[in-house]
């Protein structure tokens, strides 16, 4: 049996031998008195193994027993395959001279590196026998921990053996390294490098934050036209019809690429599609002032091109997060990304007037559009379409993401017949339509409602338009954390999705019905804010469900449902104008409430959180 280690007040190592063991001979090392360092040397001479376990200032004991003709020194492995730092063969040296060799071997290593190590001693058979090493703790070895200076923490193993055949006692330790020399000894293997927090930050949340930034830019570039259109129409003498045409031209391209963006993302990966979308709409944003000065047709074409770029964003994001985010983190990650859209609207509405006032309306498009190039540089260097494509992803994070399942290859063919035959898919499409009808009405017509009904001036109306976006950003993340907590507590994913979406439907329906009963503008604003806040719980409901029912087709599924959602926005906005000509705001809210209730029923009867498409 053999054990050896090289330890000091600063570092230590462990020794693992491979070879034959002669069970009849044992060794025991006793240490008395104050010790300044702990050194160990193992030496092989033919079938004799010389083992020194303790070095003291006053004396030491040396015992000998038979062992194999080779050994090696290694450092702690931290779960990795141990690598030998030094291997010593039988060269006929005296065992005491070996310590000098070891001292020289480690003389040049920096002792100030932080290390955490474990000294583990094993018995191993000859490699040809193919037996695994046997731990010595079954043979009476006790493990104990020694607290050293703050930058060193070690676990050491003390071996107690009794030798009946060999016992040598010496007092001369000149040939051993001094305590000062031992203090310089560290093993290269097992060095724990302290990395900056941004290197240790989980890669999956880097992807989430980059998607958040992309959606922030998405809505910044979208809403800037709603502010810049006022000075533009004055400069170019546009009438109301032309202004309405310019505002709606964005949706021409936006509708075209919802499903196409999902197909591309599912086939070639979300990284390339989202990167294409951001740089596409950023270039279109920068070129908008030039197109406006050339003529209205060119401006309409440029706005439609911008819609094409933004149309692929949501399907591509949904695809990439379906691969990177485990189920236990899905709701809050999506909520964070979608809150980027809400905060993008707040940012665009807040900064556009300032830029227009100081630098003119073209500055809004130039400044907002140029931010896309910065994002693209970060995206190309940090993002990957799936975890298996990231060479720097840690094994622990990869296990967390994949769980017990194996990652699958991107789809090559979209099974449209299978997808459209599933009731939960249609529940998604119908619910998305019902949800967006009410949401787009509130966001599009809210300034008019504040001005005509609540009698706020335009400045106050503009400021209050920011409030629902802020409310949605906050409550979307609250809903995400609640949903993931419920899932982690063991609640069914189907139940969680139905609860969150029911809040997203019934909350706005309730607060809209209260608008006809409130008497003060403050209460009306509060009802509108609460309506939008509860609406944001949908991010943990239907907006998370695409990844639940078909992770591999998440892009296509979101493209399908969001196409219905965009159509609801277009038709709902137009229908609201028609209703106001014939009726009142109460009629507008009644239609929205009716659709919210229909969506609630469809969702609770037909949706599921289980995977139905593989």
Q: What integer is the mean pLDDT of 22-44?
A: 38
Q: What integer is the mean pLDDT of 243-253?
A: 85
> How many beta carbons lie within 10 A of that of residue 367, not counting itself?
17
Whether the pLDDT of residue 157 is over 50: the answer is: no
Strands 152-158 and 115-118: parallel
Q: How far, in Å, CA of 25 to CA of 465, rounded?
A: 86
Question: Which carries the bigger pLDDT value, residue 185 or residue 430?
Answer: 430
Note whether 136 and 3 are within 8 A (CB).
yes
pLDDT digits (tens, 9 = 90+) for 56-96: 333 333 333 333 344 343 444 444 444 444 443 444 444 44
Task: Place 406 in a pLDDT band, splitting at 50, 70 and 90.
Answer: low
Name the strands in the sheet holding 60-66, side by side, starting at the edge strand that comes first in the sequence. Answer: 41-45, 48-52, 60-66, 168-170
Whether the pLDDT of residue 5 is over 50: the answer is: no
Q: How far, in Å, CA of 538 to CA of 501, rounded?
A: 5
Give per-residue burial for 56-93: e unless 16+ CB within 10 Å, then b.
beebbbbbbbbbbbebbbbbbeeeeebeebbebebeee
pLDDT digits (tens, 9 = 90+) for 210-240: 999 999 999 999 888 888 888 998 899 988 7
What pLDDT score does 446 carry? Answer: 76
Task: Place 460 in a pLDDT band, splitting at 50, 70 and 90.
Answer: low
Helix extents (H) in 152-269:
179-182, 197-200, 203-236, 240-268
Whether the pLDDT of residue 120 is over 50: the answer is: no
pTM for the full model? 0.65
Q: How far, in Å, CA of 277 to CA of 252, rounded?
A: 16
Task: Place 260 in a pLDDT band, splitting at 50, 70 and 90.
Answer: very high
Q: How far, in Å, CA of 22 to CA of 159, rounded?
A: 17
Task: Place 452 in a pLDDT band, splitting at 50, 70 and 90.
Answer: confident
Q: Percent of the chain at pLDDT above 90?
A: 41
Whether the pLDDT of residue 320 is over 90: the answer is: yes
Whether the pLDDT of residue 143 is over 50: the answer is: no
Task: Place 38 in a pLDDT band, splitting at 50, 70 and 90.
Answer: very low
Query: To 5 degrees, how large is the angle CA 103–CA 109–CA 114?
Result: 120
What pLDDT score does 227 carry? Answer: 84
Please, which contacts does 233-239 make with residues 24 or more away whose CB atoms are closer than 8 Å? 235/361, 236/292, 236/296, 238/296
What pLDDT score does 451 carry? Answer: 73
Note whether 401 and 324 are within 8 A (CB).
yes
Whether the pLDDT of residue 291 is over 50: the answer is: yes
pLDDT digits (tens, 9 = 90+) for 604-614: 999 999 999 87
pLDDT digits (tens, 9 = 90+) for 334-376: 999 999 999 998 898 888 888 998 999 999 999 999 999 999 9
Task: Place 407 in a pLDDT band, splitting at 50, 70 and 90.
Answer: low
What pLDDT score does 279 carry? Answer: 96
Note whether 19 and 67 are within 8 A (CB).
yes
Whether the pLDDT of residue 263 is over 50: the answer is: yes
What's the mean pLDDT when you consider all of the chain?
74
What pLDDT score does 139 carry? Answer: 40
> How many beta carbons lie within 10 A of that of residue 312, not counting itself?
29
Note whether 79 and 151 are within 8 A (CB).
no
Question: Which carries the bigger pLDDT value, residue 551 or residue 47?
Answer: 551
- At 116, give phi and psi (nearest 5°): -125, 125
What pLDDT score does 462 carry? Answer: 61
Whether the pLDDT of residue 520 is over 60: the answer is: yes
Whether the pLDDT of residue 29 is over 90: the answer is: no
Task: Place 147 in a pLDDT band, splitting at 50, 70 and 90.
Answer: very low
Q: How far, in Å, CA of 370 to CA of 220, rounded?
A: 12
For residue 32, give the DSSP letter.
-
What pLDDT score does 516 carry? Answer: 78
Strands 14-17 and 70-74: antiparallel
What pLDDT score does 408 carry? Answer: 67
pLDDT digits (tens, 9 = 90+) for 567-611: 998 888 788 888 888 888 889 999 999 999 999 999 999 999 999
pLDDT digits (tens, 9 = 90+) for 481-519: 999 999 999 999 999 999 999 999 999 999 998 887 887
């Amino acid at each position: 049996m053999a054990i050896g280690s090289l330890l000091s007040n600063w570092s230590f190592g462990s020794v693992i031998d491979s070879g034959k063991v002669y069970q009849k001979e044992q060794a025991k090392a006793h240490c008395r008195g104050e010790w300044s360092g702990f050194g160990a040397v193992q030496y092989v001479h033919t079938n004799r193994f010389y083992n020194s376990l303790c070095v003291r200032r006053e004396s030491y004991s040396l015992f000998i027993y038979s062992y194999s003709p080779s050994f090696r020194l290694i450092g702690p492995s931290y779960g990795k395959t141990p690598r030998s730092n030094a291997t010593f063969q039988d060269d006929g040296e005296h065992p005491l001279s070996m310590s000098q060799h070891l001292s020289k071997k480690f003389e040049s290593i920096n002792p100030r590196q932080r290390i955490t190590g474990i000294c583990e001693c094993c018995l191993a058979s000859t490699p040809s026998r193919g037996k695994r090493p046997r731990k010595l703790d079954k043979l009476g070895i006790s493990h104990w921990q020694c607290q050293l200076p703050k930058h060193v923490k070690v676990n050491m193993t003390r071996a107690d053996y009794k030798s009946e055949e060999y016992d040598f006692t010496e007092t001369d330790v000149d040939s051993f390294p001094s305590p000062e020399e031992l203090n310089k000894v560290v093993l290269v293997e097992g060095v724990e490098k302290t990395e900056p927090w941004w290197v240790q930050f989980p890669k999956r949340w880097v992807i989430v934050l980059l998607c958040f930034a992309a959606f922030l830019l998405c809505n910044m570039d979208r809403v800037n036209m709603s502010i810049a259109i006022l000075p533009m129409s004055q400069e170019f003498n546009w009438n109301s019809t032309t202004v309405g045409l310019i505002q709606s031209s964005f949706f021409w391209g936006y509708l075209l690429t919802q499903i196409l963006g999902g197909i591309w993302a599912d086939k070639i990966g979300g990284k390339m599609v989202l990167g294409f979308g951001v740089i596409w709409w950023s270039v279109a944003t920068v070129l908008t002032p030039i197109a406006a000065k050339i003529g209205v047709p060119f401006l309409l074409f440029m706005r439609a091109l911008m819609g094409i770029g933004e149309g692929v964003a949501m399907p591509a994001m949904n695809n990439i997060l379906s691969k990177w985010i485990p189920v236990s983190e899905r709701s809050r990650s999506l909520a964070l990304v979608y809150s980027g859209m809400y905060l993008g609207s707040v940012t665009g509405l807040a900064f556009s007037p300032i830029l227009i006032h100081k630098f003119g309306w073209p500055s809004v498009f130039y400044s907002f559009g140029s931010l896309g190039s910065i994002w693209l540089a970060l995206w190309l260097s940090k993002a990957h379409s799936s975890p298996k494509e990231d060479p720097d992803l840690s094994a622990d994070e990869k296990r967390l993401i994949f769980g017990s399942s194996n990652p699958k290859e991107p789809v090559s063919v979209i099974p449209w017949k299978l997808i459209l035959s599933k009731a939960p898919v249609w529940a998604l499409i119908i619910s998305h339509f019902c949800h967006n009808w009410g949401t787009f009405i509130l966001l599009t017509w809210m300034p008019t409602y504040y001005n005509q009904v609540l009698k706020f001036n335009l400045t106050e109306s503009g400021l209050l338009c920011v409030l629902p976006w802020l409310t949605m950003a906050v409550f979307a993340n609250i809903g995400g954390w609640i949903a993931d907590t419920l899932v982690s507590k063991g609640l069914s994913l189907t139940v969680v999705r139905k609860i969150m979406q029911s809040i997203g439907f019934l909350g706005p329906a309730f607060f809209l019905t209260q608008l006809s009963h409130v008497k003060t503008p403050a209460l009306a604003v509060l009802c509108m804010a609460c309506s939008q806040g509860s609406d944001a719980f949908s991010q943990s409901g239907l907006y998370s469900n695409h990844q639940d029912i078909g992770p591999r087709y998440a892009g296509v599924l979101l493209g399908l449902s969001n196409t219905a959602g965009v159509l609801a926005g277009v038709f709902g906005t137009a229908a609201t104008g028609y209703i106001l000509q014939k009726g009142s705001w109460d009629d507008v809210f009644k239609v929205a409430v009716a659709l919210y209730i229909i969506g609630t029923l469809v969702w609770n009867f037909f949706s599921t959180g289980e995977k139905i498409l593989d």
